[in-house]
Every structure is written in structure tokens, then in C-alpha cells.
Amino acid sequence: MKAAIKSGLLALAAVSLPAVAFAHTGVGDAGGLAHGFMHPIGGLDHVLAMVAVGTFASILGGRALWLVPASFVLMMAVGGFLGIEGVAIPFVEIGIALSVVVLGLAVALRWNPPTAAAVGVAGLFAVFHGYAHGAEMPLDAAGVNYAVSFMAATALLHIVGIGLGIAIGRIGSTSNGALRFGGSAMALAGVAILTGYL
């Protein structure tokens, strides 16, 4: 099982490496790679939600460790396609802010739903995040490059969240308090984003 988890994390990292390399070429944005890679990292709401997904997955463990982040990336691609194509989705900004609240609470409360439910929640919120990335794609960016790089940045943020969750889990008896504090801070930030204070 540990070998499968390590393989999954290595696969996510391998998928992410091309975008990292192209994001710093020094010759423009390489057809959308730099813009796509920086978009998820440039917004607090996106960073918090992506890290929360990884931390939530690490709390669940087992197959959820890779299924939850993978479903997020996959459904984010769907949302990105809808955004690029200009298909209208209502309440995108509210959905993004709520994702930070809900995923932060999932971490704080150590929510332990069935894997299918966790995958569904992550996938639902991913559509909103992907839509925002797609809708904000620069006009001169190559769509495929842009999408691959924002998916890679998302996967890296998930890996950060997984690493945090695993590290916190190893500190022993204080891990529950650390997760409660971190998740609560994320949820409060989500409320601030939702109400316009952040």
C-alpha cells in the first residue's frame, strides 16, 4: 500500500515537472505555461483550497490519498474547459469561497466520510476552481499549455497538503490540535473571502 501511495505521489510530481521547467524559461510565457502555472498559486482562495484537499486526503488515507486529489485535478480540467469555452456556470466565486470553508472544516473536524463522498465533494468544488482558471486564461495563451500548467500547479499544492497532513500526523498526541487549528484557520479565511474581507 505504501508503495502505491509513493508511486501516486511520484506520478503527480512527474506530471508537474514540465510546467515548473517551462514557467521559468526567460523567453515569455511559453504559450501559456507560466500564466497557467502561476494562476492557482497567485490566489489565496485557490492555495488554501488545494492545500486543504491534500491535507484532507492524508487524513482519510488509503485509496482516498490519491483518489481525492486526482478527482479534484480531473474535475478542475472539466471546469477549465467550460471556462475557456465561455459556458456559463452560476456562483463561481461563491463556490470557490465555500470550498475553502468546507474543506477547511473537513480538516479541522477530521471528517471521515466514505471515499466516494470525499471524491464527490472535491470534484464538485474543483469545477468552480477550474472554471475560474479557464475563464481568466489570457487571450494569447495556448489553451492546452495553460490547462496542463494550472493542473500541474494544483497537483503540487495537493502534494504540499498531503505532506503537511502526514507530517502533522507524525507529531503524535498534538496532531489533532494542529489539524483543528489549521483547518479552522482555513475555514475562517474562507468565510472572510466569502464576505469580502479577504
pLDDT at 7 over 50: no
* 138 sits in which H/E element: none
Q: pLDDT tens digits for 138-169?
A: 766 666 787 888 889 999 999 999 999 999 98
pLDDT at 24 over 70: no
Under the phi-then-psi rule, with left for phi > 0, alpha for psi from -120 to 50, and beta for the rest, what region is 105?
alpha
Q: Quote the pTM value.
A: 0.81
Task: Please give the Cα distance from 84 to 80 (Å, whole number).
Answer: 6
User: Do 160 and 53 form a contact (C-beta atoms < 8 A)?
Assistant: no
**Residue-level pLDDT at 36:** 62
pLDDT at 9 over 60: no
Q: pLDDT tens digits for 50-86?
A: 999 999 999 999 999 999 999 999 999 999 999 989 9
**Residue-level pLDDT at 148:** 83
Confidence category of residue 37, pLDDT binned at 50, 70, 90: confident
Task: Please give the Cα distance from 172 to 174 (Å, whole number).
Answer: 6
**Residue-level pLDDT at 21:** 35
**Which one is predicted more confidently, 3 or 135?**
135
**Which one is predicted more confidently, 98 or 5?**
98
Percent of the chain with pLDDT strictly greater than 70: 78
**Residue-level pLDDT at 141:** 65
Q: The dihedral of CA 155, 161, 165, 166: what is its sign?
A: positive
User: Do 39 and 32 form a contact (C-beta atoms < 8 A)?
Assistant: no
What is the average per-residue pLDDT within 29-52? 77
**Residue-level pLDDT at 81:** 92
Q: How confident is the prediction for the chain on average, in pLDDT?
A: 83
